[in-house]
């Protein structure tokens, strides 16, 4: 049994993670941390866990966590995460980090998009990116894995193979993404106040969403190709789900069937990617670790679609998939 | 033209009120106040008003408002409202107060349910309750009107005539109400954070919702009958609308048709009450000042249903209806 | 491994059932039936199952199903179900029936509420009611189990113990239920067309919902007490979840804490009932087999609340719970 | 007073139209038609109109309508509309046609995208397109106006001026549109069944949506420029609203401020277009006849956003705007 701690256990990714780990036969959850006061019982924070996990959220220092856990899932915000990860690693603890701190290739890009100075700069660029469909080997041998952003997951799973296989041009790629509201986290804000975002759709953070450089860099890391993706996120009135609609210019004269076949070949051994013929809906992936994707050709342009559940394949499901690989368990265990 | 000011103009009732008043031929909106800093343009707070009203929200003292307005719609919270209303009245300004400060019969009940000391105790119990269907005469002659609570509106419009006409017993009345989320106001809170309240229904404030004494007292004021209503509000994942399902024991052997006929008679001259045969849905009243109601007899019990839009008949529409009566305009003007 | 067939596999309860059974270690799904034409692949009907189950829906006669299955989950409509169940039982197949055909005590009540003549009258009244929390012994020894209605599950789990323990009076009980739209099934109708039922709440089938006699009869079967429950269902704009708000007169002077304690005692060994202190939200039970309940005393009246997921504890989860008991597997297996 | 008839009065555009016309001081609604049987009262079909309009829906022939109406709003489906419009025109009745029958330039394109033979081919290409912001002069002098499609309205209002003014290139324009469910009409279908489309987003009709040629042709008609727009509609879980996200290559080095200024200039006299600085949300235009738009430059690409209410500016509001122009009433009357 692997003893697992979850740092920052009050949010949506944490509760989703706990639910997955509770059915994992090789995991025991031993600690939950929070920076809030009062040490509340986990069921007071997440009523859906009543009767399922008898732990309190505690304001624990790494030293205390290390005594209880072999592996840490870190759901802290960016910068807060990198401020503690080093200490865990030094104690031989394995870490799956949900923040953006270890996803990028260089600290300069990090500072440009996230601001501030990176707390752990020497590791940046040397950490496995936790998208097993593209980086399985690196993940298997890692003590630290950077769990991917949800938008990048939905975009890169489509773009990386299409680019790598020479099927689309790298310039003028557009990623028009639509996400449910849970992606914005659990802290109440006016933009996610129910009567504001219900019955409405709008774009946000146009031209400055932090997942933009992540998409470009991960594509480059995998395919060796430079992109300058135009990424536009939209907020949709639903709890979960991301649909990315992707526009690119074809590099070959392959038709829809050929493109689909190439994608199916590419993902032949990926248990969580489903290349489908129909137009996928986010609901098809609700609560699951699947990424459903398809592709069309419209007036000479490649138009691709990919759907994930932002809290599962876009966060906690991917984290457990990485965990399984890091520990040599079957990749699909508990997923 | 009546010059109108709106106090507390950043919330949902205020924007709904502005939209109604903008199409009122006898009204000029001259001032909007807020306790927030910065004097934002109204379109920055309410983007739907862009190009429709060119005013800024200002942190104005009553003296400044009085210079601009003949009538004040006060959308301030309870206690804050009664702290300023007196000054407006002294200057001859008419006031329609959205808060609960002037709805109840006595300050003791106010203190029990709202806490604190009432800022303007001598007026309490002497203010017209702004439900024209029941208190038209008092409203017509008033300088100050207490605009009703939304739950009481939905409950009292059904219960008051049934009790007054001797059709139901006053004991063991149950009001099971369901409301959209806009009722909770515009301040972000965890309970109204989209991913918390979407796709979910729950009761709240059971046994201690502040509209409970209002329902009892207004029934007594109108019908002279004491009740101890069991009132249970529920939060429904929708923007607007209140449905109250009301259970009472019949006092006569009148059948459904007779009960409906009695209600139709009672509301013959009420332009905004629709006694319908079908089971009303809140959507039928969306955006309108109507209250739709019907009644059934189930296993010897009277079961009544009433629907309103909480922001219109439950707040801003009722306020304009009262305004029209206070100024001698047609009751339905702009509604 | 138990070979399992699902009859009527195109609906929402069937897909939820399949998802639960796919993670059941003792089950192999061997057949799916439909009365539709064309033998579609299950993933064409339920895209979320793509890559997870490789079966077609077939229009099979019982003789063909019997050759493939030891146990049948019957998701057919009422009357259609009882028309085929007998044949399965004669072949020694175990049956868990989702329809209402075997829930009631007598065919007269069945005909009154469902119309027509019962196709298998001699079994009516002799079939275990699949609410393990109340009827575990009967279920364990049964070849046929009547899976409960969703509204009755939410109501009876609260009412049966309170009545049996003498804590509430049996007369004048009110059950005000709120349900998500999936309860209405998968056949498109105007009332469940998105723009009709979204952003709206209304009651339906008032005084004539078919779950009314089921609630009364199951209470009588368990507690030996006659009731005439006033049951009012409401349609709420959400996919899943039932909240029942239940009003009853107390029979003792027990306070809230004592009532909660009595319920906790009663459900000490029930793994899927959570007696909670807070007001439960349907979201707390989303996707799980739990029933969350609590109780309040308001102005001398007992007001109880219970939440379930209508597709899980209200249908397919309960069915697997019954299956586990019928086969001697742990009650919570795969749930 | 203009006597008005509405053909096909059972749908969503019709009820929205009726609500607008009921507050129009120069209109009397004299007839409502349907092809359904039974002559239902309008309030039986649209409960929100109870007490507001006392007419029945009747299965009337044009001859009967002509006797009652000076102007006809035709909400019939394509082909059905053109089959009757000629007869109305011959009797001197003015017609505002909601269908696509008179929007395109040629019958060949019509047949390609809508199928079948056009019932009234000689008028095709000679009818004013009812987007007053671009074609005011033609509308003013017309007896017949083709009311625009909702997606084309949202796209063309942005693209037409940007192209005409030489600010963007005509090739490789992408229109990624998101619409609420009411756009799909009132006939229940599986794709618009609440539990199917709620909590989900997906694209539909990719590459073959019928509004595609309309966008291209209206741009050409206004700006004289050929486009081959890539148009991708998506279904969003909300009642109303269209957001179009539009990607184009700039033709000049104008910055965001300059582009916004050009658009503001262009729409200086358009009362229903609001060029805003912020990213518009569909909710800002809910229930109104406004089109809110803005523009950004992202990595050298022009990214524009436009929002409308599909039932108002996308249908019935535009129709009344056209009506006002056809009759010489103020353009904004009742809107």
The b-or-e profile of D92-107 (16+ CB within 10 A means b, else e) is ebbbbbbbbbbbbbeb
What's the rounded mean pLDDT across residues D245-250? Answer: 98
Neighbours of A41 (CB within 10 A): 15
Report how far residue D166's alpha carbon sits from residue D154's, in angstroms, rounded to the nearest whole number: 19
Beta-carbon separation of A201 and D280 below 8 A: no
Please determine, for residue A323, whether its predicted confidence score (pLDDT) is greater than 90.
yes
| pLDDT at C181 exceeding the cut of 90 | yes
Kindly report, residue by residue over A301-320, the tens digit of the pLDDT: 999 999 999 999 999 999 99
Most D CBs within 10 A among C192, C195, C196, hence the mutation to make, goes to: C195
Strand order in the sheet with C242-248: C202-203, C230-235, C174-179, C242-248, C301-308, C291-298, C273-275
- Name every chain D residue with its beta carbon within 8 A of the beta carbon of A279: 202-204, 206
- State the nearest Cα–Cα gap between C105 and chain A, in angstroms: 35
- How much is the pLDDT for B36? 84
By C-alpha distance, the chain B residue nearest A199 is B239
Rounded CA-CA distance D260/D294 in Å is: 7
A198 touches chain B (CB under 8 A): yes
Q: What is the pLDDT of residues A69-97, one digit of tens each?
A: 999 999 999 999 999 999 999 999 999 99
Per-position b or e across C82-96, b if 16+ CB within 10 A of its CB: bebbbebbeeebbbb
Is the confidence at residue A45, as pLDDT, over 90? yes
- What is the ipTM for the molecules in this complex? 0.97
Query: What's the DSSP call for residue C255?
Result: -
Q: What is the pLDDT of residue C39?
A: 95
- Domains of chain B by start residue, with CATH: 2-126 (3.40.50.720), 150-310 (3.30.360.10)
Instruction: Name the DSSP class of D11.
Output: S
Q: Assess B195–D contact: CB distance below 8 Å, yes or no.
A: no
Residues of B in contact with D286 (CB under 8 A): 48
Instruction: Name the 3-class secondary structure at B157.
Output: helix
Work out the number of other CB atoms within 10 angstroms of the CB of residue C269.
9
Per-residue pLDDT tens for B308-321? 999 999 999 999 99
Tell me if C230 sits within 8 A of B298, measured CB to CB. Answer: yes
Quick count: other Cβ atoms within 10 Å of Cβ D25? 8
Q: Which burial class, exposed, middle or buried, applies to C155 when counting CB atoms under 10 A from its CB (0-12, 13-18, 19+)?
A: buried
User: Are D271 and A272 in contact, with CB atoms under 8 Å apart?
Assistant: no
Q: Decide: C147 and C100 in contact? Cβ < 8 Å.
A: no
Contacts of D193 in chain C (CB under 8 A): 186-188, 192-194
Rg (CA), chain C: 19
- Residues sharing a CB contact under 8 Å with residue B22, sequence separation 6 or more, in sequence order: B29, B52, B53
Strand partners, B174: B230, B247
| Mean pLDDT taken over chain C | 97
- Return the pLDDT at D12: 98
Distance between CA atoms of residues C324 and C320, nearest Å: 6
Q: Dihedral through CA D237, CA D243, CA D249, CA D253, nearest 10?
A: -140
Question: Can you tell me the mean pLDDT for A160-183?
Answer: 98
Query: Annotated active-site positions of C, please?
Result: 150
**In this complex, which chains have at least 3 CB pairs below 8 Å with chain B?**
A, C, D
Closest chain D residue by Cα to residue B47: D284
Span C43-93, pLDDT tens digits: 999 999 999 999 999 999 999 999 999 999 999 999 999 999 999 999 999
Query: What is the residue-averaged pLDDT of chain B?
Result: 97
Chain D residues with beta carbon closer than 8 angstroms to that of A301: 172, 174, 230
* A92 part of contact set with chain C, CB < 8 Å: no
**Catalytic (active-site) positions of A:** 150
Strand pairing partners for D246?
D175, D304
pLDDT digits (tens, 9 = 90+) for B259-290: 999 999 999 999 999 999 999 999 999 999 99
- Nearest partner of B256 among B308, B305, B307, judged by Cα: B305
Instruction: Collapse the DSSP code of B96 into the 3-class scheme (helix H, G, I; strand E, B; otherwise coil) and give the result.
Output: strand
Burial of A136 (0-12, 13-18, 19+ CB in 10 A): middle
Question: Pairing between strand B94-97 and B71-74?
Answer: parallel
pLDDT at position A15 is 98
D118 vs D127: CA distance, rounded Å: 14
Nearest-angstrom CA–CA distance, C189 and D265: 48
> Which residue bears the tokens 């996919």?
C239
Cα nearest neighbour of A283 on chain C = C48
Distance CA(C230)–CA(C250), nearest Å, equals 17
**B227, exposed or middle or buried, with CB in 10 Å at 0-12, 13-18, 19+?**
buried
How many contacts (CB atoms, under 8 Å) link A and B? Answer: 60
What confidence score (pLDDT) does residue B141 get? Answer: 86
Distance of CA C180 to the CA centre of its chain: 14
| Residue B258 buriedness (CB in 10 A; 0-12 / 13-18 / 19+) | middle
Mean pLDDT of chain D: 97
Exactly one of B71, B74, B75, B150 is catalytic; which is it? B150
Q: What single DSSP character describes residue B217?
A: H
Q: In the predicted model, is pLDDT for residue D42 greater than 90? A: yes
Which residues of D are less than 8 Å from B274 in CB distance?
50-51
**A200 near B CB under 8 A:** no
Query: Which of the residues D194, D235, D237, D282 would you substitute to probe the C interface, choosing the one with the greatest number of C C-beta atoms within 10 Å?
Result: D194
Q: From residue A234, give the alpha-carbon distance in Å to each of A113, A150, A209, C243, C307.
A: 19, 13, 11, 32, 33
Instruction: Evaluate if residue A214 carries a pLDDT over 90.
Output: yes
Name every residue whose Cβ is closer than 8 Å to that of residue D184 and which is 6 or more positions away in sequence: D191, D192, D235
* Confidence grade of residue C318 (pLDDT, cut at 50, 70, 90): very high
CA dihedral of C280, C282, C287, C289, whole degrees rounded to 10: 50
Contacts of D145 (CB under 8 A, 6+ apart): D95, D96, D97, D127, D128, D129, D130, D139, D322, D326
Q: Is B286 on the interface with A (CB under 8 A)?
A: no
pLDDT at residue number B268 = 97
User: Residue D171 pLDDT > 90, yes or no?
Assistant: yes
Find residue A96's DSSP bridge partners: A73, A145
Q: Which chains touch A (3 or more CB pairs under 8 A)?
A: B, C, D
Question: What is the C-alpha separation between B28 and B22, in angstroms, rounded?
Answer: 8
Token look-up 């994707």 returns A293
The DSSP string of A130-190 is S-HHHHHHHHHT-SEEEPPPHHHHHHHHHHHHHHHTT-B-STT-EEEEEE-GGGG-SS--G
Q: Which residue has the tokens 């067939």?
A: C5
CA torsion sign for D156, D160, D162, D167 is positive
B191 touches chain C (CB under 8 A): no
Using CA coordinates, name the residue in chain D closest to C239. Answer: D195
Rounded Cα distance between C206 and B305, Å, is 11
Q: Residue C141 — very low, low, confident or very high, per pLDDT cuts 50/70/90?
A: confident
D47–chain B nearest CA distance, Å: 6
Mean local confidence (pLDDT), D269-287? 98
Residues of chain B found within 8 Å of residue C250, distances taken between Cβ atoms = none
B6 within 8 A of B73, measured Cβ to Cβ: yes
Nearest to D50 among B199, B276, B283 (CB): B276
- Give residue C36's pLDDT: 84
Reported residue count of chain B is 335
pLDDT (mean) for D166-171: 98
Mean pLDDT of D271-292: 98
Per-residue pLDDT, D261:
98
Q: What is the mean pLDDT of residues B108-134?
A: 96
Q: Is C127 left (phi over 0), alpha (psi -120 to 50) or beta?
A: beta
Average pLDDT for residues D190-213, to the nearest whole number? Answer: 97
Sequence-separated contacts (24+) of C57-61 with Cβ below 8 Å: C57/C9, C57/C10, C57/C32, C57/C33, C58/C31, C58/C32, C58/C33, C58/C34, C59/C33, C59/C34, C59/C35, C60/C31, C60/C33
The residue-averaged pLDDT of A110-127 equals 95
| pLDDT for residue B174 is more than 90 | yes
Q: CA angle, corner C281, sides to C278 and C284, nearest 5?
A: 95
Local confidence band at A286 (pLDDT 50, 70, 90 cut-offs): very high
Q: Which residue of C has its CA nearest to A287?
A: C287
**Spatial CB neighbours of D165, under 8 Å, sequence gap ≥ 6:** D262, D266
Per CB-CB distance under 8 Å, the chain C contacts of A278 are: 47
Contacts with D, B 288-327, CB within 8 Å: 288, 290, 292
Q: How far apart are CA D82 and CA D102, in angstroms?
A: 8
Instruction: Give per-residue burial for A200-230: e unless 16+ CB within 10 Å, then b.
Output: bbbbeebbebbbbbbbbbbbbbbbebebbbb
Whether residue A37 has pLDDT greater than 90:
no
Identify which of C48, C50, C288 has the shortest CB distance to residue A48. C288
Return the SS3 of C325: helix
């Amino acid at each position: 049994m692997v003893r697992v701690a979850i740092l920052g256990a009050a949010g949506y990714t944490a509760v989703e993670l706990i639910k997955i780990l509770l059915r994992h036969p090789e995991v025991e959850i031993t600690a939950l941390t929070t920076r809030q006061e009062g040490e509340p019982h986990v069921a007071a924070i997440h009523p859906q866990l009543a009767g399922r996990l008898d732990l309190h959220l505690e304001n624990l220092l790494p030293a205390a966590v290390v005594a209880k856990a072999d592996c840490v899932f870190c759901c802290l915000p960016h910068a807060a995460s990198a401020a503690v990860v080093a200490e865990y690693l030094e104690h031989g603890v394995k870490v799956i980090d949900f923040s953006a701190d270890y996803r990028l290739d260089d600290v300069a890009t990090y500072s440009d998009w996230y601001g501030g100075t990176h707390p752990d700069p020497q590791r940046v660029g040397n950490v496995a990116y936790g998208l097993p469909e593209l980086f399985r080997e690196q993940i298997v041998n890692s003590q630290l894995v950077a769990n991917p952003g949800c938008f990048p997951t939905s975009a890169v799973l489509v773009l990386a193979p299409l680019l790598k296989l020479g099927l689309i041009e790298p310039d003028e790629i557009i990623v028009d993404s639509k996400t449910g509201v849970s992606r914005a986290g659990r802290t109440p804000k006016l933009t996610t106040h129910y009567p504001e975002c219900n019955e409405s759709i709008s774009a946000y953070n146009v031209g400055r969403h932090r997942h933009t450089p992540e998409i470009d860099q991960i594509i480059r890391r995998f395919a060796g190709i430079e992109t300058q993706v135009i990424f536009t996120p939209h907020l949709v009135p639903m709890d979960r789900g991301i649909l990315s609609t992707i526009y690119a210019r074809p590099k070959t004269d392959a038709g829809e069937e050929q493109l689909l076949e190439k994608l199916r070949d590419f993902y032949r051994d990926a248990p969580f990617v489903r290349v489908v013929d129909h137009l996928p809906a986010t609901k098809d992936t609700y609560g699951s670790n699947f990424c459903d994707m398809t592709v069309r050709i419209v007036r000479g342009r490649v138009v691709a679609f990919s759907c994930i559940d932002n809290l599962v394949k876009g966060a906690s499901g991917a984290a457990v998939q990485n965990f399984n690989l890091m520990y040599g368990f079957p990749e699909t265990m508990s997923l």
